[in-house]
Amino acid sequence: MTPLKNITWLIDLDNTLHNASYAIFPALHSNMNAYMAQLLGDGEKPADNATVDAARTLYWEKYGATLLGLIKHHNVKPAEFLDLTHQLDPLPGMMRFEPGLANLLRRLPGRKILFTNAPRKYSQQVVRQLGLHRHFDQHISIESMHVHGQLRPKPSRWLLKKWLARKRLMASQCVLIEDSLQNLKSAKQCGMKTVWVTQYAKYATKNSKSSLGSGRPIFIDIKIHSVKQLPSQLFRLTYPI
Ligand SMILES: [Mg+2]
């Protein structure tokens, strides 16, 4: 058995530690739509909503992230896109989260890594608002999610495998805590343990919604409503030698 203190926790941010769907995601989507309408327009007029929606859906389904499609097909610079779309002001008023998260991280044994597809500047601000900036050993944001020079955010298995090799960690010693079933499935395929946090998933993808009421997908080790329930469920993580 791997002692709990030797576990590395990879912890997602949006809709795992706070309710990003309350105001942040709607604002991000609106910023993203405005950016894409300009990009897909004819140089004078922005593209209409239907064109933007079709492109967004296509890229999401084909590449797992709208940004990857924009890079591939429109030479969009990731830093510029992330900067423009993540201008959220004032951020504190847009946030909703449970109290007691710092206490949870303090009580959780092992190494804690923030592992988010969001850009660094935004995630640092959110983590500071949550009062968690001193509780993570490392902060992995989308800027550092490259494999062979290509941007490979979650749910990329290449990303997870590269990270494990670089850190010289066994997948079985790592646990991903997330709201996204896609990301959790990839982690499990790489050999990691998985914790699914569902309280904000009602706002999330169709896949997440369809599994909410029907128990737990086979690639999920622990299903909890709130991340604060994790300490009481740690006994479920059994580690073969
Ligand atoms: Mg998330």
Hunting for tokens 């298995």 — which residue is that? 157
pLDDT value, residue 141 = 96
- In the chain, what are the domain boundaries? 4-18+98-236, 24-85
Cα 85 to ligand 1 centroid, rounded to whole Å: 17
If phi over 0 gives left and psi between -120 and 50 gives alpha, with beta otherwise, what is residue 90? beta
Gyration radius of the chain over CA positions: 18
**Which residues, in sequence order, are bridge partners of residue 140?**
115
Residue 184 Cα to ligand 1 midpoint, Å, equals 10
pLDDT value for 8 = 97
The residue ranges of the chain whose pLDDT is under 50 are 241
At 204 the pLDDT is 52
CA of 148 relative to ligand 1 center, distance in Å: 25
- 């988010």: which residue's tokens? 116
CA of 213 to the centre of ligand 1 (A): 19
Q: Tell me how far the alpha carbon of residue 18 lies from the centroid of ligand 1, in angstroms.
A: 9
4-18+98-236: in CATH 3.40.50.1000: yes
Provide CATH code, domain 24-85.
1.10.150.450
Q: Separation of 201 CA from ligand 1 center, angstroms? A: 9
CA of 105 to the centre of ligand 1 (A): 17
d(CA 146, CA 144): 6
| 3-class DSSP string for the chain | CCCHHHCEEEECCECCCECCCCCHHHHHHHHHHHHHHHHHCCCCCCCCHHHHHHHHHHHHHHHCCHHHHHHHHHCCCHHHHHHHHCCCCCCHHHCCCCCCHHHHHHHCCCEEEEECCCCHHHHHHHHHHCCCCCCCCEEECHHHCEECCEECCCCCHHHHHHHHHHHCCCHHHEEEEECCHHHHHHHHHCCCEEEEECCCHHHCCHHHHHHHCCCCCCCCCEEECCHHHHHHHHHHCCCCC
C-alpha 19 – ligand 1 centre gap (Å): 9
- Ligand 1: centre distance to CA 205 (Å): 11
Ligand 1 centre from 21 Cα, in Å? 10
Q: How much is the pLDDT for 210?
A: 55
pLDDT tens per residue, range 97-156: 999 999 999 999 999 999 999 999 999 999 999 999 999 999 999 999 999 999 999 999
Å from CA of 41 to ligand 1 middle: 30
Give distance in angstroms: CA of 179 to centre of ligand 1: 5
Q: Return d(Cα 192, Cα 184) in angstroms, integer.
A: 9
Distance (angstroms) between ligand 1 centre and the Cα of 228 equals 16
Question: What does the alpha-carbon distance between residue 118 and residue 12 come to, in Å, rounded to a whole number?
Answer: 10
Q: Is the distance from CB of 109 to CB of 7 less than 8 angstroms?
A: yes
pLDDT of residue 149: 93
> Quick check: pTM over 0.85?
yes
